[in-house]
Every structure is written in C-alpha cells, then in structure tokens.
C-alpha cells in the first residue's frame, strides 16, 4: 500500500496480531469547520483485508456564514478483498456547514462492511440543530453499477424536520449500515434480534444487507450498534469503538 | 389566402385533455399494477398505533412526499422522461433500485413497474421495457408525448391515493376522512411535481427514516394483509 498524508489528517496503524490491517484516521485539528477540505482515499488490493476507523468522533463545528466544508471519501475494494469502513460518529453542531460524500467502488467478489453514525447536535447539552447545512451522499457501486445509494439534506431547521413522525420522531442519533458479502442473508435474522424497535434491517439483494437505526442519543446508538458491528466484523471491531 | 381561424369543435379536444385522459387510465386503481397490495410500510405504523387519526395519516404521508419516495419517484420519473437512449434508461432504473430502502419496497416498485409495462406494451404497441414503477411511467409518458409536469403531479396523487385507501382498510378511518386527507395533500403533490423540475439523482435523498424502517420491519409482522 502507499500512504500519502497532508494537513491535519493523519493515519496510524496500530499493531495487530492478525493478518488483517487496521488503520485509524486522526484529525489533528479536532474537528471540521467551514472552508475545510478533507479528501480521504483508500484501497484494499486484491485479497487484502482492511479496517478503517477514526480515533474519535468527528465534529462538524459552527461555520462562518458562506463557508461550507467538504469531506470526500473514496474507497476501492478489489477482487476477494474485504474492507470495513467503520468511522465513529459525526457530531453535527448547530450552525455547522458540511457537504459530505462517500464513494465506494467494489468488484463482484469484494466484501464490504460500512457504517455511518450521525449525531444531531450535542444532545447532552440540549443543543438542537435549528440552523445548519448538512448534505450527505453515499454511492456504492459494484462493477460500476450502483448497488446502494443514500442521500440526506438537513439544511435549515433540521431539528423541526427530525421531529416529524415518519422521519426521526425526535431521535438524536442515526446510523446507516451496509453489509455486502455472500453470507449476508444468513446474518439477517440474528441482526434483527439485536435491534430496538426504532431500527430495521433488510436484504435489498441476495448478498446486500441494509440497516437503519435511530436512537435517542449517541450512547443509545452505540449500545445497539456495537453488538451488530462485533457480529458482522467477526469481533475485529477496533478498540476505539468500545463504549 | 387567409387561414381560417380554428374552430375548436372541429379540432378535437386540446392536447392536455388527451394527456389527462391517458394518465387517468394509467394511474386509475383499475389499471392492473396491483397497487392495492402495497402499503409502503403503513401497515406496520398502523399496527404500532403510530397512525390512529386522519391527522396522523396526513403527517406521515407529508413526510413520504417531501422527504422520501414521493419526491424521489418524481425525480426518477423526470429522469426517465429525459432519456434519449435505452442505456440511459437502464442507469435510471439501476438508480431507482439502489435507492430502494428494503426488500419489500424494492419489490413494490419493481413488480408494479413490470405489470404497468406489460399492459402498456399490449395496449399501446411499442418498446416499453420492464422498469421500476416511476421509471416505467416516465418512459411511457415520453414515448406517448404526454405532458411531463402533468404526469408527475398525477403520479404523486395516485400513489398517495393508493396509500390513503390502504390506510382506510387498516384503521378506523372513514371513506370521507380518507378523501379529506387526499384533498389536503393535493397541493403538495402539485408543488413537489413542479419543484423537482431539473433535479437529478444527486438531488435525491432518503430521509423518511421511520417510514423506511416501518417497511423493513413489515417483513416480520406476524399478521399482515399487505405485501409491503
């Protein structure tokens, strides 16, 4: 593999005793604010096994008016490779401004476990997202065909929208999960048994499992998410993910 | 020689009326797409007592229209209408499938679209591939030269009308209540149809999270009468 890093984004590789490689992304600036540009690229070569996570939760801070931060992640998974994209929570502060894009390109025999946890405001201090800009887009393609597309636009009074009955009913945190592997359908019933009533899982193709989870706050989200991630990553969940 | 002024009675009805009549046929509950079999996750929300009153139903449907599949379907319909080549159409259909949030929601859009195309092929001969429902409608409308904005607005009203009748079958809600909800949502159908003009797949978003989760958990409901 090759490593190129610049600016406030670093990557470290904790020693592990498995054939599996772990990489931890560290944002030494401590968060994201308006005008920032982050560009993350990683590739799991044929046959490789790679887990990417972040050292801590990421924070989208209050931005100056007119400035929008850009965070773009591009991941490639080659034949017979496995990639776990397991960043910790993105915490949206009120008045944040962020456009985020995650693109994952994989081949037919590649495997993927992806999670994107999101926290809507610093709920512990009672913050509500009354005015923010957050656009998010996830595109996963396999042999160039889209297999999973997701998008969000929480611009404006996000709290009012998240309070709506068919949106989040006031939930403070949300996670999206995608698992692409031949054994995915065999995992569905076990995952369903782990989920609270504010979550669901389903197969959108024979080998593609999707899950959406809403929770009152970040703590409740982790409590539901960690057992699922442990199960799907075969207990290789990075230490930084522990409660 | 001066052209005589057109005499409306001799010219046949204006094109918009012909378009409306074709669309009324395609989107009528009697057009055999099996729409009555799908609740889009409503059955779960009703069993969980999250939808009990006409107001609850209206709020739920507003979210689907503005933040979920209503708006997304409208964008897909418009993208399909704009396709000049079958290869572009395949891309729109793949986009529709990749945005489906659950197995049953994928089947709902896929099976209705396939049934729609089958009938259209038989009645209006010509190329009409099997596509997801909004993609199939958008492509058929383009092929027949129907007005796009009218197609989008009537499509939205039809899917909401179908969900209202699903709710009437599931909750203690009267026919009149249902029609009042549909009438209240009709301006929104009109607005979303207009606002999605010029939008592309980059503008699609799936934020009706609890509607999507209801569709996922519908798969394991012990007692259910709908297929989604």
Which range has the worst mean pLDDT, A56-70, A132-146, A206-220, B70-84? A56-70
B141-181 confidence digits (pLDDT tens) = 999 999 999 999 999 999 999 999 999 999 878 999 999 99
* CA-to-CA separations, A41 to A80, A176, A178, in angstroms, rounded: 19, 21, 19
Instruction: Give A168's contacts in chain B (Cβ within 8 Å).
Output: 209-210
Question: What are A105-114's pLDDT values in tens digits?
Answer: 999 999 999 9
Judged by a CB distance cut-off of 8 A, whether residue A37 touches chain B is no
How much is the average pLDDT of A10-20?
74
Nearest to B103 among A153, A203, A214 (CB): A203
Residues of A in contact with B95 (CB under 8 A): 146, 149
Distance from chain centroid for Cα A67: 23
Q: What are phi and psi of B226, to 5 degrees?
A: -105, 160
Distance separating alpha carbons of residues A75 and A65, to the nearest angstrom: 31
Please say whether the beta carbons of B138 and B79 come within 8 A: yes
The pLDDT of residue B12 is above 80? no
Q: Report the gap between the CA of A162 and the closest CA in chain B (Å).
A: 9
Spatial CB neighbours of A10, under 8 Å, sequence gap ≥ 6? A25, A26, A27, A28
B45 — pLDDT class (breaks 50, 70, 90) = very high
Of B3 and B202, the one with more pLDDT: B202
Q: Considering the domain boundaries, does residue B51 fall inside one?
A: no
For residues B3-31, average pLDDT: 80
* Containing structural domain, residue B78: 58-218
If one compares B68 and B84, the residue with the highest pLDDT of the two is B68
- pLDDT at position A243, please? 64
- A11 in Cβ contact with A23 (< 8 Å): yes
B56–A149 C-beta distance less than 8 A: no
Q: How far is B48 from chain A (nearest CA, A)?
A: 10
Q: What is the pLDDT of residue A1?
A: 58
- The residue of chain B with its CA nearest to that of A145 is B94
Residue B1 has pLDDT above 70, yes or no: no
Residue B4 has pLDDT above 60, yes or no: no
> Which residues on A lie below 8 Å from B63 (Cβ)?
164-167
Q: Domain total for chain B?
A: 1
Return mean pLDDT, chain A: 93
Per-residue pLDDT tens for B179-202? 999 999 999 999 999 999 999 999
Q: Which of B60, B97, B99 is nearest residue A165 as measured by Cβ atoms?
A: B60
The yes-or-no verdict on residue B128 having pLDDT over 90 is yes
Domain chopping of chain A, boundaries = 9-241
* pLDDT for the residue B15: 81
Higher-confidence residue: A16 or A27? A27
Instruction: Name every chain A residue with its beta carbon within 8 A of the beta carbon of B220.
Output: 192
Residue A165 in contact with partner chain B when CB distance is under 8 A = yes
CA-based nearest residue to A87, from A50, A48, A114, A68: A114
Per the CB < 8 Å rule, is B209 touching A164?
no
**Nearest CB to B213: which of A148, A149, A198?**
A198
Q: Is residue B87 part of a domain?
A: yes
* Residues of chain B with C-beta less than 8 angstroms from the C-beta of A171: 209
Q: Tell me, yes or no, whether B50 lies in a domain.
A: no
pLDDT in tens, A114-123: 999 999 999 8
CATH of the domain at B163: 1.10.4190.10
Helices (H) and strands (E) in chain A, counts: 3, 15
Q: Is the pLDDT of residue B9 over 70?
A: no
* DSSP of B208-219: -HHHHHHHHHHT
* Residue-level pLDDT at B87: 83
For chain A positions 172-201, those within 8 Å of chain B (CB to CB) are: 174, 192, 197-201
pLDDT at B171: 80
Considering the domain boundaries, does residue B44 fall inside one? no
Please check whether residue A193 is in contact with residue A149, taking contact to mean a CB–CB distance below 8 angstroms: no
On the 0-12 / 13-18 / 19+ scale of CB atoms within 10 A, A94 is middle
Rounded Cα–Cα distance for residues A124 and A187 (Å): 34
pTM score > 0.80 for this model? yes
Instruction: Tell me the per-residue pLDDT of A141-181, one tens digit each, with 9 for 90 and over.
Output: 999 999 999 999 999 999 999 999 999 999 999 999 999 99
Chain A nearest-CA residue for B62? A166
């Amino acid at each position: 593999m090759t490593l190129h890093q610049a600016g406030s984004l670093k990557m470290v590789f904790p020693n592990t005793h498995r054939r599996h490689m772990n990489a931890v992304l560290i944002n030494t600036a401590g968060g994201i604010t308006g005008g920032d540009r982050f560009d993350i690229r990683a590739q799991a070569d044929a046959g490789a096994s790679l887990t990417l996570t972040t050292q801590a939760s990421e924070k989208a801070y209050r931005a100056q008016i007119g400035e929008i931060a850009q965070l773009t992640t591009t991941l490639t998974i080659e034949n017979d490779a496995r990639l776990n994209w397991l960043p910790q929570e993105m915490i949206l502060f009120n008045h944040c401004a962020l456009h985020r894009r995650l693109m994952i390109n994989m081949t037919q025999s590649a495997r993927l476990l992806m999670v994107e946890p999101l926290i809507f405001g610093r709920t512990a201090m009672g913050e509500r997202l009354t005015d923010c800009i957050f656009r998010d887009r996830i595109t996963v393609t396999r042999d160039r065909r889209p297999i999973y597309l997701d998008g969000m636009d929480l611009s404006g009074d996000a709290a009012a929208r998240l309070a709506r009955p068919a949106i989040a009913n006031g939930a403070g945190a949300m996670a999206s999960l995608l698992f692409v592997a031949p054994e995915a359908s065999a995992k569905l019933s076990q995952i369903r048994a782990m989920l609270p009533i504010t979550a669901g899982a389903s197969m959108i193709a024979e080998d593609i499992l999707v899950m959406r989870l809403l929770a009152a706050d970040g703590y409740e989200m982790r409590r539901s998410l960690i057992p699922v991630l442990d199960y799907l990553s075969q207990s290789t969940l990075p230490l930084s993910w522990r409660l | 020689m001066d052209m005589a002024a057109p005499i409306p009675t001799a010219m046949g009805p204006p094109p918009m009326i012909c378009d409306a009549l074709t669309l009324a046929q395609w989107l009528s509950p009697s057009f055999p797409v099996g729409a009555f079999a799908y609740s889009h996750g409503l059955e779960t929300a009703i069993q969980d007592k999250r939808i009990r009153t006409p107001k609850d139903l209206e709020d739920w449907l507003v979210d689907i229209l503005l933040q979920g599949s209503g708006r997304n379907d409208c964008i897909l319909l418009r993208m399909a209408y704009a396709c000049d080549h079958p290869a572009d159409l395949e891309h729109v259909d793949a986009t529709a499938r990749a945005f489906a949030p659950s197995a049953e929601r994928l089947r709902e859009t896929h099976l209705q679209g396939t049934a729609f195309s089958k009938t259209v092929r038989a009645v209006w001969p010509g190329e009409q591939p099997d596509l997801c429902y909004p993609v199939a409608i958008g492509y058929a409308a383009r092929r027949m030269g129907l007005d796009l904005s009218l197609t989008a607005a009537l499509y939205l009203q039809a899917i909401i009308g179908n969900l209202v009748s699903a709710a009437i079958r599931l909750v203690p809600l009267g026919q009149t209540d249902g029609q009042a909800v549909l009438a209240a949502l009709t301006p929104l159908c009109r607005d979303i149809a207009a606002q999605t003009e010029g939008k592309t797949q980059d503008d699609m978003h799936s934020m009706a999270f609890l509607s999507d989760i209801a569709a996922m958990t519908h798969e394991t409901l012990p007692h259910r009468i709908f297929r989604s």
